[in-house]
Each structure stands twice: as C-alpha cells, then as structure tokens.
Amino acid sequence: MSHIHRFYSAAISDHMPQIELSDEEAHHAIRVARVRDGEKVSVFDGNGLECTGEFERTGSHSALIRVQESTYHRPSRIQVTLAVGGLHRDKTQESVVRCAAELGAYRVCFWNADHSQRPIKPSSRWHKTAVEACKQCGRFFLPKVDTASSLGEFLEGHNGPSVIALLSEEQTGAPTFAATDRLAVVIGPEGDFSDRERTLAATMGAIPISLGENTYRSEVAAALLMTLVAFKLDELGPGLNLCLQ
C-alpha cells in the first residue's frame, strides 16, 4: 500500500470535481502532516467511496482536493457486529473501537450488562477513534458505534446469527452455522454474563463458542474473535500453514 495521506468526509459523492476538507482535517493536513500543494491524497466517506486527487491549500486553515478518480470499494462479505458488555473505562472502550475498526467490524455495540455498575454513556470520541483507525489501517468502511440498554435489546435488534463467547467448559463442539450477510459476536462484561443473560442468549439462539481455557480482557477477546472471523472470511490473506511435528 502506498502511504498517501487519507482524509475523512462523510459528505462526498463520486462526481464532485473538488472536495473541501473540514476545518479539522485541513488543520491537520497543513500543520501536522504538512501536506504540500499538488501532493496526491485521498478522501474516504466511511461507506466505501474513496476519491483521490491533488491537495490544494486555500487558506491558513482550509484546503481542498482536486478529484482525479473515484473508487467504490467492496464491503466485507459479512457485516460483523461486535457487541461488548459493560465496558466503562473510556480508554478501554476506545481501544475496542480502534481494534474493531482495524479488523473491519461493521458495527460496535456496547450493551449494559446485568453486572454493570452503571449505564454506558455514549461518547463523541468513539466516532473520532473509528475514523482515525480507518485512516491509519487503510479501511474504507467506518464502523457505527452505539449502545444497547441490555443484551436482550441488542439481540432483539440484531437481524442475523450471533455467537457468544463463553468459557470452555460450556462449549459443545465447534459450532457450524451459516452466515448470509451479517453476524454478531457477543463478548461478556468483566464480571461475566449473569445467569439471566446466559439463558436469554440461549433462548434467542446465540451460538456458544469457546476461546479455550483462558480468560481474556474484552480488547483481546475482541481482537481474537474478529481475527478468527476475518480469517474464516479469507480477509486476512492466506494466513499461515503451520505444520506441527
């Protein structure tokens, strides 16, 4: 991948001859990235569209891109939603959002767990973090980040199969299931799922999967599951054929 500077703007379309950067993006381009006039850069809308063209500074805090080419990138074969229970620390939430965005999540939903001490407050940092992650890793689809008042609310609103990460003793073989276009991956809160949540998930058809004998922090469980799913979807390249002797 060439390392051209990437900017974000939700409001672009494929027949714009030029795109004005937001104040914030323009400031960053001029003061931090020090992009020069005529340099090739790109703008993406977080929904698959990428416009590349030449950078042009139009003021001390404003800049535009003279578009030369527009490309619609293909979305992932499956929209994967990562649903994480009861995370309260800002840094941890942002870490999950960043990691999920890098690994191509379609949506991140923080749900209030029975074992949560207080409700999760939506943060304006989530969107910002997702944009930064997409810019940095070269993805063109920005995950939506939202909250659900409970696991039940999340599962009811999710239209498609879901897997739920439980401890190893609860696994009943490697689940085989078909995913057509969307999949939810549910990760429990720090204090684990409540009995009510387990029963609810089972009733609502969530498929239990195990991550082995160890207990992972939410960020690591998220990275791990997103990796396994991306690997299954052939989105990580051919991976490695490790033969054990």
Shortest spacing between CB 220 and a second copy, in angstroms: 5
DSSP string, 22-47: PHHHHHIIIIIS-PPTT-EEEEE-SB
Closer Cβ to a second copy, 16 or 228, answer by number? 228
Applying CB under 8 A, among 32, 89, 174, 195 the residue interacting with a second copy is 174
Taking the complex as a whole, how short is the minimal distance between the CB of residue 129 and a second copy, in angstroms?
12
For residue 214, state whether it binds a second copy (rule: CB under 8 A).
Answer: yes
In the bound state with a second copy, the residue whose beta carbon lies nearer, of 16 and 167, is 167
Q: What angle (nearest 5°) sits at the alpha carbon of residue 206, between those of residues 204 and 212?
A: 150
91-98 own/partner pairs: CB under 8 Å, 24+ apart: 92/218, 92/219, 93/120, 93/123, 93/125, 93/126, 94/125, 94/126, 94/129, 95/219, 96/218, 96/219, 96/222, 97/126, 97/129, 97/130, 97/133, 97/143, 97/145, 98/129, 98/130, 98/132, 98/133
Kindly indicate which of the ranges 8-16, 48-56, 57-65, 101-109 contains the residues binding a second copy, using the contact rule CB under 8 A.
101-109
- The two three-digit tokens of residue 217, written as one number: 């922090």
Stretch of 35-43, 59-67, 130-138, 193-201 lying at the interface with a second copy (CB under 8 A): 130-138
Where in 132-161 is the site for a second copy (CB under 8 A)?
Answer: 136-139
User: With CB under 8 A as the contact rule, which of the stretches 51-59, 118-126, 144-152, 171-179 interacts with a second copy?
Assistant: 171-179
Q: Which is nearer to a second copy, 11 or 174 (CB)?
A: 174
Q: Binding residue for a second copy (CB under 8 A) from 35, 43, 99, 151?
A: 99
Rounded Cα distance, 17 and 25, in Å: 19
Q: Is residue 186 at the binding interface for a second copy, with CB under 8 A as the rule?
A: no
Q: Tell which residue, 37, 43, 35, has the closest CA to residue 17.
A: 43
In one-letter notation, the amino acid at residue 142 is L
Residues lying near a second copy in the complex (CB under 8 A) are found at: 1, 77-78, 98-99, 102-104, 136-139, 163, 167-168, 171, 173-180, 183, 207, 209-217, 219-220, 223-224, 227-233, 235-245
